[in-house]
Amino acid sequence: METVRPLNAAERTARARATGGQPITDFDQRIPYDAYVRTDVLHSLQRTVTDDPGEMSFLMITQVMELYFKLIAFELRGAQELLRADRVWEAISPLSRTALHLEGLNGSWRGLRWMTPADFNRFRDQLGEASGLQSGMYRQVEFLLGLKNPALLRPFKSRSAELRRAFDGPSVWDDAVAALARRGHDLPQELLVRDFSIEHEPHEAVERAWVEVYRDTSPGNDLRRLGEALTDVAEAFGEWRRQHVAAVRRSMGHKPGSGGSNGLAWLERSMARVVFPELWSARTHM
């Protein structure tokens, strides 16, 4: 892989003077932008299976979503590392970025609003059993957020050690609960040392802890800021699920899904599982 030669601020200033402020357009080798972004690889990945022009839109937006899933998983893992090191203030930054990335992800749905059932049917059969439910990167995001269902690991049993680690390990919510305990909040040991492959069950002790956190409105309360950053993530992720349901309803109604599910009904049931549950229930008592 070709690398991009680093430039410092002084070199950039000198180049701008030398060119009179005009962009450099002559390069002896590969264009640096292409070398950095790997545009040759990126733009070679769109391989449609039909001649229908709508399929290109469907495929590319799906690929954009996959890239966002990867970015969101990256940020969530970074937040986890900082929470485990009790660097709560620093963990807020990747969580805030996660919420913004989720906004970008959610905006992707707008590019599919043109798709009626007739539009989708023109190429849907050629997708075979391929389904968004089979996205390993999306499952990783769900597991990192604490939504764990062992049945959803089965398609990936021979593939992803990283996905398995996300499933078996603590979620972001587990790490936030552990941070509360380290700061002196009274939480039972069974919440802190447990089988993390089992989805977290809401607990009144966690709810009470967040109520106490929010009572302190001082600017230096990093746990309160953490709570708000987590709330932004959960809210944006909830919006992703809502828009997913809306897009399926618009493009295929109640038809069965390609991956074997009953489509819309399956998605609607999945929305009932709440991300960071005590952060929401605690608000009733604040």
Cβ neighbourhood burial of 155 (10 Å; 0-12, 13-18, 19+): middle
CA 42 to chain centre: 20
In degrees rounded to 5, what are phi and psi of residue 256?
-60, 150
Known binding residue 97? Answer is no
CA 54 to chain centre: 26
Known binding residue 242? Answer is no
Tokens matching residue 2: 């070709």
For 170, the 3-state DSSP assignment is coil
Q: How far apart are CA 262 and CA 268, in angstroms?
A: 10
For 223-285, the three-class secondary structure string (H helix, E strand, C coil) is HHHHHHHHHHHHHHHHHHHHHHHHHHHHHHCCCCCCCCCCCHHHHHHHCCCCCCHHHHHHHHH
3-state helix, strand, coil split of the chain in percent (to 5) is 65, 0, 35
Q: How far apart are CA 55 and CA 59, in angstroms?
A: 6
Which amino acid would we find at residue 82? L
Q: Mark the binding-site residues for heme, compressed into ranges.
A: 244
Q: Mark the binding-site residues for substrate, compressed into ranges.
A: 124
